[in-house]
């Protein structure tokens, strides 16, 4: 799985209660294809055992700075790593790392590595708020270490508050690690707008018209674009899928609200990927009260919603890459080719709603990419995460040529 496959990650674990989450992080990294070398500090072993990590990674766990046959482990591990992640990073560890200490295997590895370093603090909220911790974190950032800010939420002690100090969830850390592993490309530093999910058009205060879109394709695109170093705005309708780490999420309800949000975001965007499934129709009149069975109308009159790609065309920046999506059931390629021209797109991604594994709601998709230059590329059935990367490869090529 890009960009983890075949990469060597040194995963440091220090002595915090949040270390139980690190086991799941190790699993995510290993499942994505990374070779994970786990280093446990002495205090970490009091919270979680080495056998757990050996089972999850399939690799030996390291703990001792100096032991027979392992005198140079800190050098070997440090030089082999493509990325060092420390999660949780306790207040004590941050202080020792900021002071350049090397009294244990993990801090020695930090001094010996040229790889990027990602620190994930976790501690009591008062400890995180202490001026000394803040100074240590500032110094570590000055050394070039990346730091994931702790979450606010319930901490280990039920008597304490719920301020910042909680270690972020493994999925979040996994995403940050991916961003640091991703090679710099044409999307790095670019401003990307992605839309995702359905919209809802009200019938009355409790009912609406919508479709089966889960938003998974748009979310995968937003997450992958952010991982590649872009600044991402995700304009999202009501989603059933988790939102990605990193993008600025703007939640909307109706097609008109989505169009307005896209228009604003486009003013600064280098690319738009219109992956949402906005409603094409809305009730011509919205009832102000819940429609009762006894008084229901014989039919609901519909009117067209504004086409987002067409109505926001004037807001596009010169040179911006515009990607549309089309879900069809008949004459799939012909309809997509027509939309490509009518909406003045650089690329359109089309799939057949009736094809198994390629419609709404699933984790896979089979798409065809049609370019303005006439190029047609049909992809096999792939996970939507892989489809997202294939689409972004095309977007990077287009941006690189402008």
Look up residue 1 and give its DSSP letter. Answer: -
Distance CA 61, CA 44 (A): 12
Q: Indicate the angle between helix axes 131-142 and 91-98, nearest 10 degrees.
A: 50
DSSP 3-state assignment of 343?
coil
Residue 85 tokens, joined: 């992640």
The residue annotated as part of the active site, out of 124, 136, 211, 351, is 211
Residue 298 tokens, joined: 């014989």
124 is catalytic: no
Look at strands 191-196 and 231-236 and give their pairing: parallel
Note the Cα 343 to chain centre separation in Å.
28
Residue 2 tokens, joined: 């890009």
Distance CA 276, CA 255 (A): 10
Distance CA 361, CA 367 (A): 15
Distance CA 386, CA 4 (A): 13
The dihedral built from the CA positions of residue 259, 265, 266 and 270, taken in this order, carries a sign that is negative
Q: Taking Cα atoms as reference points, which of 259, 264, 270 lies closest to residue 195?
A: 259
Distance CA 365, CA 45 (A): 43
Rg from Cα positions in the chain: 25
Distance CA 293, CA 238 (A): 27
**Residues 209, 213, 216, CA angle at the centre, nearest 5°?**
150
Active site residues: 211
């Amino acid at each position: 799985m890009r960009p983890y496959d075949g990469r060597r990650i040194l995963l440091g674990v220090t002595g915090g209660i949040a270390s139980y989450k690190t086991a799941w992080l190790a699993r995510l990294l290993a499942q994505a294809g990374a070779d994970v070398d786990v280093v446990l500090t002495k205090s970490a072993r009091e919270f979680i055992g080495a056998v757990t990590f050996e089972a999850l990674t399939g690799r030996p766990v390291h703990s001792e700075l100096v032991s027979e046959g392992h005198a140079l482990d800190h050098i070997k591990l440090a030089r082999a790593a493509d990325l060092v992640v420390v999660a949780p990073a306790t207040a004590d560890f941050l202080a020792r790392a900021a002071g350049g200490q090397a009294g244990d295997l993990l801090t020695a590895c930090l001094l010996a590595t040229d790889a990027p370093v990602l620190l994930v603090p976790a501690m009591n909220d008062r400890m995180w708020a202490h001026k000394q911790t803040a100074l240590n974190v500032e110094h570590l950032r000055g050394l070039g270490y990346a730091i994931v800010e702790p979450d606010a939420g319930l901490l280990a002690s039920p008597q304490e508050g719920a301020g910042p100090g909680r270690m972020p969830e493994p999925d979040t850390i996994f995403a940050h690690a991916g961003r640091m592993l991703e090679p710099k490309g044409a999307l790095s530093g670019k401003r990307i707008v992605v839309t995702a999910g359905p919209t809802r058009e009200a019938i009355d205060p409790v009912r609406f018209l919508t479709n089966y879109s889960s938003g998974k394709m748009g979310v995968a695109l937003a997450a992958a674009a952010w991982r590649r170093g872009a600044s991402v705005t995700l304009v999202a309708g009501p989603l059933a899928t988790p939102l990605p780490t990193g993008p600025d999420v703007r939640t909307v309800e109706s097609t008109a609200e989505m169009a307005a949000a896209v228009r604003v975001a486009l003013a600064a965007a280098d690319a738009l990927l219109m992956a949402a499934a906005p409603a094409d129709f809305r009730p011509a009149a919205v009832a102000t009260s819940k429609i009762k069975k006894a008084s229901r109308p014989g039919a609901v009159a519909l009117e067209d919603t504004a086409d987002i790609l067409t109505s926001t065309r004037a807001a596009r920046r010169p040179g911006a890459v515009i990607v549309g999506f089309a879900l069809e059931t008949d004459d799939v390629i012909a309809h997509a080719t027509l939309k490509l021209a009518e909406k003045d797109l650089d690329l359109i991604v089309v799939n057949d709603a009736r094809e198994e594994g390629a419609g709404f709601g699933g984790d896979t998709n089979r798409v065809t990419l049609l370019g303005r230059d006439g190029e047609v590329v049909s992809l096999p059935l792939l996970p939507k995460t892989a489809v997202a990367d294939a689409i972004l490869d095309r977007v990077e090529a287009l941006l690189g040529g402008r």
